[in-house]
Structure 1
Amino acid sequence: MFHSTLRRTILASTFLAAFAVAVGTPLTAQAQDQNSTAAVNLDTQGVALHGYDPVAYFTVKAPTLGKAAYTHTFEGATYRFASKDNLDKFKAHPAQYAPQFGGFCAMGVVLEKKLDGDPQAWRVVDGKLYLNVNKDIQKKWLEDVPGHIVKAGQAWPSIKNKAPKDL
């Protein structure tokens, strides 16, 4: 048991170090606000997804910037939309379109970290939107999407209301 735990700790530490190198900055610098305990990744104006339209990932299958004229607040986050039609779709089913893990990096959540999700490093899996911190890390996440989703789902409840600096 001790050896198994030690091995997992060493593997996680090694992966985190590689992760930091791939990201190009210290892990603590990735989330937008290191002191925020919000469960949604927000900018300083309370906007989620860096202002990208969450519905567009499902409809046009591409990251699309939203417009300030079309906004809606869901679970404390302001989302922007490219069109009134997308705004209406989101209002009707917000949980269907909102990013998983509050828009934080899905691979980061696997490692019990809240890292800033990049709207350009995304994937819709089983009707849910996932972001990664960048496309290099996304490659690692794509190696075992079902397994990583399970692990992130297990980790999320214990980290979602913690500040990134405390993880």
Structure 2
Amino acid sequence: MTVQTTVRIQREPFDVAAETKKLTQGRDDAGAVVTFTGICRGAEGTEPIAALTLEHYPGMAEAEIERHVAEAVSRWPLIGVTVIHRHGRIVPGEDIVMVVTVSSHREAAFAAAEFLMDYLKTRAPFWKQVEKVGGKTWVEAKATDDAAAERWKAPGRAAAE
């Protein structure tokens, strides 16, 4: 069977349960489903956040995410992958991104989901602006996110069996 993959960038909210069901329905070979949902926080440290605005480069963002999904599929024995990323103005408590990975075994599903999120944080062409009481600022890349993505290049991080 072929691996079912979906990549979408959209303004509107998504339904994690519905997307997961689409990916697993009728698959008797699915033994593990891992979902990750990134949510807009209401504060950075002690400073409240009013909203995040996410911008992307249409076409390029989808292609970049699809490239990383294809890499995940080549590294782990996956049955399905869904990545949905929102753009536009997002207020605290709203979902930003979701990753769903499905495999026959948990190790592959967990590793692939973590791999995809690490790359989404560092390589996907999105720009994030934080809206606070004092004004708006663009979010800079974080060294900790880059380090998390780099670990996937290290020896010994091969596909899970």
Q: Please tell me the TM-score bracket, short chain as reference.
A: under 0.3
Structure of higher RCO (CA pairs closer than 8 Å, 6+ residues apart): 2
Of Structure 1 and Structure 2, the greater strand share is in 2
